[in-house]
Amino acid sequence: MRSDLMKKGLERAPHRSLFKAMGYTDEEIKRPLIGVVNSANEIIPGHIHLGIIADDVKAGIRIAGGTPVEFPAIGICDGIAMGHTGMKYSLASRELIADSVEAMVMAHPFDALVMIPNCDKIIPGMLMAAMRLNIPTIFISGGPMLAGKLKGKTIDLISVFEGVGKVKAGSMSQKELDAIEDCACPGCGSCSGMYTANSMNCVTEALGLGLPGNGTILAVHAARRRLAKEAGMKIMELLKKDVKPRDIATLDAFKNAIAVDMALGCSTNTVLHIPAIAHEAGIKLELDIFNEISKKTPNICKLSPAGAHHIEDLDTAGGIQAVMKRISPLGVINEKVLTVSGKTVGENLKSAVILDDDVIRTLKNPYTKEGGIAILKGNLAPDGCVVKQSAVAENMLVNESKARVFDAEDDAIKAILGGKIKAGDIVVIRYEGPKGGPGMREMLGPTSAIAGMGLDTTVALLTDGRFSGGTRGAAIGHISPEAADGGPIALVREGDIIAIDIPKKKITLKVSPEELKKRKKEFKPKAPTITTGYLARYAKLVTSASTGAIFKD
């Protein structure tokens, strides 16, 4: 056993003594030691209950003959960090999480791991660590939140964000917003729509590293606790068979995950995280693969913010296994790949049942023939950019208009809420990329303000930053290269014409090559906004959004 390095033999008597100081018995020390990585904290609704999930995981491990050893991982709540300097640390925390899990597991050689994440950067950070360490590992998320209810209508966190814009526009009273604020997030769990947290939990299940149900069983349901116990028992089976993450997360498994991503219309942040996770597994995923799989995979689910359904509806309809079963006949799901259940994808799908054709549409009745995400390229984004096309109004799929340019998200929000952005404008927000932000802030603030002001079907927003999974409308992010690296987005001037053609996957700054060359010579990058601490180091190490914002090798 790997843990023998720290517990077996005469020379390890001091080590065993330290274990005994914590109450471990000789019998517990002799058993396989299973690291339980718990991201529980009191600042994220999706994590407030993870102590209960961890207790259930540990019960499962003990049932199957192992000794659980719990240790923590940090987590940032994107919703609470949104709209201020705190958001600069969100994406950057992904690398910290991966590195800290690596440090703990290399310093204390556990035999296997159970990862308990639930929200935005915690999930990919732990997945990256799992690929890097490559010892038997299983994921069990904390599960999604129930949607809120108010006056017979279903609401969620995005209802609150967009309500701010409505109050500013005069279409909603402060009293009405207060009522929404009180009801939108009714309890624990990852926020109830197909935002980044739930997108990544669903991707984890589709990738094969979470048991069936991992992505959709509600946080408040007893089935979530039973799944946690099952995960604890299953890790002992994976350890016995020596099944490691890289045995499961093959190139074919990543393609399965991307196909599910497209069918669901997941967050654009998956385009950052999936390549970064693959990189840790030694697999290079080019951005073009998203478009290739999208062409074959229809968008068959529309969950908030793209539609009225929520994760609870998807779970009732059959969950991720049902989605995979639906799209498998198209040839986009490799059923031969292994999963942490101990079965292949195909074996898992035999018991999957599709229970609601409204939530999971048939292949004859998709929302769109292509998947939920599109990668665009052109002279404004030579290395690519990303849009959740399933959440774009039809009239905005092809659009040409003048640029309104801002060098920071905060300035753009002031202009939007101040009524300075008009129908037809294309808002450009730059110097918000991985390096330039630094930290590549999510921009739910400006997109929600645009929606709240009633402009989401007439105004596009382009940025080298990124968007929340809760964003809807013509929001195009991850423009690469970013402004801080002298990318073409840095050369855009107020009033320039920009042409967007999502169906043709093109984005064009309609300025002559000669003029752009002239502007490039005159270009002086904006001075860094943060020059000390972790973010300053992060800015020096991070690469482009087009590579998943991974660190330089």
The pLDDT of residue 251: 98
CA atoms of 125 and 73, how far apart (whole Å): 10
C-beta separation of 58 from 36 below 8 A? yes
Catalytic entry in 141, 390, 468, 480: 468
- Give pLDDT, residue 445: 84
pLDDT at residue 451, rounded to an integer: 86
- CA 272 to CA 204: how far, in whole Å? 14
Q: What is the pTM of this model?
A: 0.96
Please indicate whether residue 468 is annotated as part of the active site: yes
d(CA 265, CA 357): 16
Look at residue 226 and give its three-state secondary structure.
helix
Is the peptide bond preceding residue 329 cis, with omega within 30 degrees of 0?
A: no
| Distance separating alpha carbons of residues 13 and 297, to the nearest angstrom | 57
**What pLDDT, on the 0 to 100 scale, is given for residue 55?**
98
From first to last of the 553 residues of the chain, give the pLDDT tens digit.
Answer: 999 999 999 999 999 999 999 999 999 999 999 999 999 999 999 999 999 999 999 999 999 999 999 999 999 999 999 989 999 999 999 999 999 999 999 999 999 999 999 999 999 999 999 999 999 999 999 999 999 999 999 999 999 998 998 998 899 999 999 999 999 999 999 999 999 999 999 999 999 999 999 999 999 999 999 999 999 999 999 999 999 999 999 999 999 999 999 999 999 999 999 999 999 999 999 999 999 999 999 999 999 999 999 999 999 999 999 999 999 999 999 999 999 999 999 999 999 999 999 999 999 999 999 999 999 999 999 999 999 999 999 999 999 999 999 999 999 999 998 999 999 999 999 999 999 999 999 988 898 889 888 898 999 999 999 988 878 889 999 999 999 999 999 999 999 999 999 999 999 999 999 999 999 999 998 998 899 999 999 999 999 999 999 999 8
Q: Which two tokens stand for residue 442?
A: 């999510």
Confidence (pLDDT) at 471:
81
Its sign, for the CA torsion 321, 323, 327, 332, is negative
**Which amino acid type is present at position 391?**
A
Quote the CA–CA distance of 521 and 314 in Å, as a whole number: 52
466 phi and psi angles, rounded to 5 deg: -135, 175
DSSP letter (8 states) at residue 550? P
End-to-end CA, the chain: 31
Indicate the pairing of strand 398-406 with strand 426-429.
parallel
